[in-house]
Structure 1
């Protein structure tokens, strides 16, 4: 079984989950991430660290931040970064044992560095405590994210209020050391859902607000503004990714772009030991933006084209049946513009006997796409629940598709406005790629690229 991705970022070994504190600094992109350096299962959370100049080729760095066990800390949970006094600082959720557990005793801590390799907790910690907010301490209080609005510095932190509902809270600072609670920035409509990893991007007088829901395949986006009372006023909303893209982080590069990062969850693997003691994948960073009419756009990283190695073009007209690409690979990119009112599908990772394959079925008329997953693996132990997503029609009437296939990963972009990420764990090593339609495709322009770092 080959499940370890070849061009997505994965740790050299052991466990990885949320991207943390992503930042562009002095010509390099820094990726920090939740990491267990001792085991390929969740636990013992440190901050792993890697750097890149092109977002594709990564250099593994030493562990950046370890729990301060002598101060009662057992885990370094998710957080963000910012520049203070010319260096990257970290603001993250600190968790301990007993009264310092994640449910009721988490704190927000800061960490600094002198060499850009190792970060250490400052003596003044904690810089925020969960009793700073509304009446009673917040629970499940975690994942700070720093941003600037109207010349002031704020942080968002998620937390449950009075064990009744989940919300995102806003705090203000002038020096990154002394924070004060302002108010409840956003309240979740579903009280039982636990919010994680809130992010915000400022576009003039408007903002893009993102958050994940713990233990559910949900990552929401909102486009809106911030009121004078520092509350979110939403104009539009939707789903960031219908599959296993989770715990987003944001960074800004030297080209003026906003990059969104995400953990490609290992949950569907259900503890399966595959081709090594590793777990967790980072998505290829996505270029994101908002439109004048408050839509959220996600685009495949343009630099990705530099690792295309071969191209096969397929042109179809008034086509029915199944067309196989000559290119066979588990590391590929498939792009297509399909003009059709009828249902069609793209098939990935099909073996010679057609015992395993992953279909993505598109219905242009209804604006849906669907991954049945039943035939994706012969292994009974992995999660093969179906995934359904929605996409808007494009201006030219085509369904524009871009799929990044990388062993156990398929990142699917549709019309720049919809994404679905699949985690697939086939037992055989199927490499065949095809497109099919029973009722006919009017026209399709397809390219299949072999990809290699």
Structure 2
């Protein structure tokens, strides 16, 4: 078994050995080792706390710990000691994903304990609790595990029963837990408790069909702008036209939650991000009543250069995003705090391009924010090159005739290849102009790119690994495209 002391000692001794070439400047990361899902994201005692699936000893997935960072503004993150290690019989092979809630001034974590067996049939996943009075040091409760296979309904596999999301509604605490059905497909199970220790099964909150993916993960539920929103991360969702091209996808389901009956009634289902690296998002409501989301900025099954090149670390989180709903659609906006770190503003206005390319050689954009407003009513297509040099570039393109916005990283640098049947190096989304305009916000960091289109109606998130200095911007127009405004800022944290 692993221990907290072992993990924290290893991190302190080895964290300076990592190679920092691709380490992001303003995104949450671990100091060393592997990270994946964000966990236990919460605003607690005046600070944002972010836990995450963590294996400190190598830059590959291993027996999961809970790493821990905290921040006062969602941009500058401070690493604090590892919160959970797989050190009990009920979680000996991993402290898997879960969430946090404040109760009586204390911080409670609910997570999945993973127990390997001699065969796959022998694997068990159970739900466990740890508590802290200072938000840093946690103790696992004596009652663990608090939910086991004895609490499962019929047709639920004890081998795939994980990722509790805890919420308070009325007098009860509720836990949404992802489950795999014996006869195939995903489902969300609902449990409730008055004291957070003694839990009872309520219902199958949402039942998935086989074509909706073999396993659901990391559920999240919240009320926003008068609607209930359920986020699901799905392993193996079949691709459908332009959607779900990655091995794993995230769904935003807007509808209505009936807490009395424990049933979620879905109205609309959409993919949440149309990029290449976005999975397992988690949300909170903070002290400003904002619904903030953060996600793992990576994709299962792909090579990660910082691991293969032996940099000693792998994985980063997205820029936190504020969520809104308009017309049953979830919008995402970068948190306002990022603007506090903008410097060196450079601006252009009213640039008319007609079947030509303009290079903005005096603009540099590596760790930066770019805002563009483009008038496309007389255009056929535009391509925006960012992080470019003579041999590398990342493209954001728009086809004015089909209204598809595309992110393409085939020439971004180190090749990234996954387990998909066909190499996925670009993604696109149907994005209609608003008043003949396409508005883009592009956030660049050392190894990442996040595109927000039309005030965050759609987002495209991707990792990129340029091999040489790559900070140029070029715009190419087919037909007539007018750049109403182009602003860039460096981001310095």
With normalisation by structure 1, the TM-score equals 0.93
Between the aligned partners of 1:334 and 1:103, the Cα distance in structure 2 is 51
Query: CA deviation digits over 1:338-382, x for unaligned, max 9?
Result: 11043112111111x2x11111111244332222322222x4565
Mean alpha-carbon deviation: is it higher for 45-54 or for 312-321? 312-321
Distance 1:100 1:362, change over 3 A: same
Between the aligned partners of 1:100 and 1:142, the Cα distance in structure 2 is 19
1:386 deviation in Å? Answer: 2.6
Pairing 1:281–2:320 present: no
State the match for 2:218 in structure 1: 197
Q: Equivalences for 1:274-423 in 2 at 5 Å?
A: 274=309, 276-291=311-326, 293-320=327-354, 321-325=356-360, 326-341=362-377, 342-351=380-389, 353=390, 355-377=391-413, 379-380=414-415, 382=417, 385-393=424-432, 395-415=434-454, 416-423=456-463
CA contact (8 A) 1:164 1:191 kept: no
CA RMSD in angstroms comes to 2.3
Between the aligned partners of 1:304 and 1:100, the Cα distance in structure 2 is 48
State the match for 2:72 in structure 1: 53
CA contact (8 A) 1:391 1:418 kept: no
Distance 1:140 1:334, change over 3 A: same
Distance 1:70 1:230, change over 3 A: closer
Of the candidates 103, 114, 126, which is equivalent to residue 145 of structure 2?
A: 126
Query: CA deviation digits over 1:422-446, x for unaligned, max 9?
Result: 1112222211122221222034311
Aligned length: 449
1:69 deviation in Å? Answer: 3.8
CA contact (8 A) 1:196 1:212 kept: yes
CA contact (8 A) 1:345 1:360 kept: yes
1:115 deviation in Å? Answer: 3.3
CA contact (8 A) 1:100 1:106 kept: no
State the match for 1:439 in structure 2: 479
State the match for 2:254 in structure 1: 223
Query: CA deviation digits over 1:15-53, x for unaligned, max 9?
Result: 111110000011100011111121111112111111111
Of the candidates 219, 222, 247, which is equivalent to residue 280 of structure 2?
A: 247
Pairing 1:3–2:22 present: yes
1:182 deviation in Å? Answer: 1.4
Pairing 1:236–2:271 present: no
Pairing 1:211–2:245 present: no
Distance 1:192 1:234, change over 3 A: closer
Distance 1:367 1:429, change over 3 A: same
Distance 1:229 1:257, change over 3 A: same
With normalisation by structure 2, the TM-score equals 0.85
CA contact (8 A) 1:79 1:90 kept: yes
State the match for 1:262 in structure 2: 295
State the match for 2:103 in structure 1: 84
1:72 deviation in Å? Answer: 5.5
Mean alpha-carbon deviation: is it higher for 135-144 or for 12-21? 135-144
CA contact (8 A) 2:213 2:235 kept: no
CA contact (8 A) 2:399 2:405 kept: yes
1:120 deviation in Å? Answer: 2.0
Distance 1:257 1:205, change over 3 A: closer
Between the aligned partners of 2:281 and 2:121, the Cα distance in structure 1 is 20
1:133 deviation in Å? Answer: 2.7
Between the aligned partners of 1:297 and 1:385, the Cα distance in structure 2 is 25
1:193 deviation in Å? Answer: 2.7
Between the aligned partners of 2:314 and 2:263, the Cα distance in structure 1 is 37
1:100 deviation in Å? Answer: 10
SS at the partner of 2:124? coil
Between the aligned partners of 2:272 and 2:450, the Cα distance in structure 1 is 12
Between the aligned partners of 2:416 and 2:231, the Cα distance in structure 1 is 32
Query: CA deviation digits over 1:293-323, x for unaligned, max 9?
Result: 3221111111111111111112244313222
